[in-house]
């Protein structure tokens, strides 16, 4: 199993949209996929219309439940979800006094025996203990960046965070790539920011996610874009990004954190 966090401490840059749609597209391609909603806003949970089984990530973080008990299936084949709820905020505070408090999610994930090939973690817009738990539980990070003014400044804060996590908590964490989101080809600003990202960030994904009404509508219909508007530009972009994600994952050494799964006989 590979675990990838979708993170950026800046709010509203497309983390949830990216996590939900990558998870759905990976599942469509045959990957047994788990999406963990690690944000108390629970946007990924509501975007897929899933409901908790009654066991919450909150209880897992406090050592009172197993992660497996929080997993619910989604209406889409091969896509399961760990839903979130508001009380994650409380869990974060209570976690503060626990030993090994940055590694609780990693420990809980390593006990999941269901054979997932890919786990995606949707992080909230903060650098609290929940996000640190998500990063220490991950093999790699994807960082969405909105094509807007000061995009690069926001990104340098994120890269600094990743470096700190690497040096203090999880040396094996890898930045898989930066993805430019909400690109509006009609504006000079979007074009300039996308060009700047391409020239400064070596890990930038070739796929650029366009600004699209369809993408912003899909969550209110509780469907991923590949189901809500399968032939839209947004759906195509997320399918392409998923291909890029999977091929980048294939170049990483096998997970040091978790047992490997297999997709079509290829170890992942
Ligand atoms: N490519 C896009 N085109 C149009 N709207 C988008 C696109 N990506 C995201 N949005 C919309 O922008 C808003 C913010 O996106 P999203 O929730 O994915 O960001 P986020 O980084 O997860 O936010 P937060 O930091 O609050 O968790 C949402 O209303 C979403 O529907
Ligand atoms: Mg979000």
Q: Per residue in 30-72, pLDDT tens?
A: 999 999 999 999 999 999 999 998 888 888 998 899 999 999 9
Decide whether any atom of ligand 1 lies within 6 Å of the 9 Cβ.
no
Residue of 40, 184, 216 to test ligand 1 pocket, by largest number of atoms within 8 Å of CB: 216
- Domain spans of the chain, in order of start: 2-249
Q: Give the ligand at the shortest distance from the Cα of 190.
A: 1
Lowest mean pLDDT among 46-50, 84-88, 166-170: 84-88
Decide whether any atom of ligand 1 lies within 6 Å of the 124 Cβ.
yes
Residue 261 has pLDDT above 80, yes or no: no
Contact at 8 Å (CB) between 40 and 91? no
**Tokens read off for 156:** 């340098």
Q: Per residue in 109-163, pLDDT tens?
A: 999 998 999 999 999 998 889 999 999 999 999 999 999 988 888 888 889 999 9
DSSP state of 258: S
- The span from the CA of 155 to the CA of 77, in Å, is 34
Its CATH class, for the domain covering 2-249, is alpha beta
End-to-end distance of the chain based on CA atoms, in angstroms? 6
What confidence category does residue 184 fall into, taking pLDDT thresholds of 50, 70 and 90?
Answer: very high
Helix-helix angle 129-136:151-168, to 10 degrees:
70
**Torsion angles phi and psi, residue 240, rounded to 5:** -65, -45
Contact at 8 Å (CB) between 224 and 20? yes
Q: pLDDT at position 265, please?
A: 45
What confidence category does residue 259 fall into, taking pLDDT thresholds of 50, 70 and 90?
Answer: confident
Decide whether any atom of ligand 1 lies within 6 Å of the 125 Cβ.
yes
Residue 264 has pLDDT above 70, yes or no: no
| Average pLDDT score over the chain | 93
- The CA-based diameter of the chain, rounded to the nearest angstrom, is 52
Residue 263 has pLDDT above 70, yes or no: no
User: Which residue in 15, 2, 3, 1 sits closest to 178, CA to CA?
Assistant: 15
Decide whether any atom of ligand 1 lies within 6 Å of the 38 Cβ.
no
Q: DSSP letters along 203-249, please?
A: TB-S--PBP-HHHHHGGGGT--HHHHSTTSHHHHHHHHHHHHHHHHH
Q: What is the pTM of this model?
A: 0.96
**Tokens read off for 238:** 């997320």
């Amino acid at each position: 199993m590979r675990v990838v966090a979708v993170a950026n401490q800046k709010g509203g840059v497309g983390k949830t949209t990216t996590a939900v749609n990558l998870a759905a597209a990976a599942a469509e391609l045959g990957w047994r996929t788990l999406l963990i909603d690690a944000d108390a806003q629970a946007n990924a949970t509501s975007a897929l219309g899933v409901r908790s089984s009654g066991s919450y990530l909150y209880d897992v973080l406090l050592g009172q439940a197993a992660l497996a008990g929080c997993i619910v299936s989604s209406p889409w084949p091969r896509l399961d979800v760990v839903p979130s709820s508001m009380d994650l905020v409380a869990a974060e505070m209570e976690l503060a006094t626990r030993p090994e408090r940055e590694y609780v999610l990693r420990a809980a994930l390593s006990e999941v025996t269901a054979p997932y090939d890919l786990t995606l973690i949707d992080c909230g817009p903060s650098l609290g203990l929940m996000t640190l738990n998500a990063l220490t539980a991950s093999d790699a990070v994807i960082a969405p960046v909105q094509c807007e003014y000061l995009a690069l400044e926001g990104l340098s804060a994120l890269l600094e965070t990743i470096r700190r996590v690497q040096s203090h908590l999880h040396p094996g964490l890898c930045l898989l790539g930066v993805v430019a989101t909400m690109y509006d080809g009609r504006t000079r600003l979007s074009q300039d920011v996308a060009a700047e990202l391409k020239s400064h960030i070596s890990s930038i994904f070739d796929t650029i996610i366009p600004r699209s009404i369809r993408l912003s509508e899909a969550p209110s219909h509780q469907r991923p874009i590949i189901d809500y508007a399968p032939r839209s530009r947004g759906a195509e972009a997320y399918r392409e990004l998923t291909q890029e994600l999977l091929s980048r994952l294939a170049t990483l050494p096998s997970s040091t954190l978790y047992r490997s799964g297999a997709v079509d006989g290829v170890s992942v």
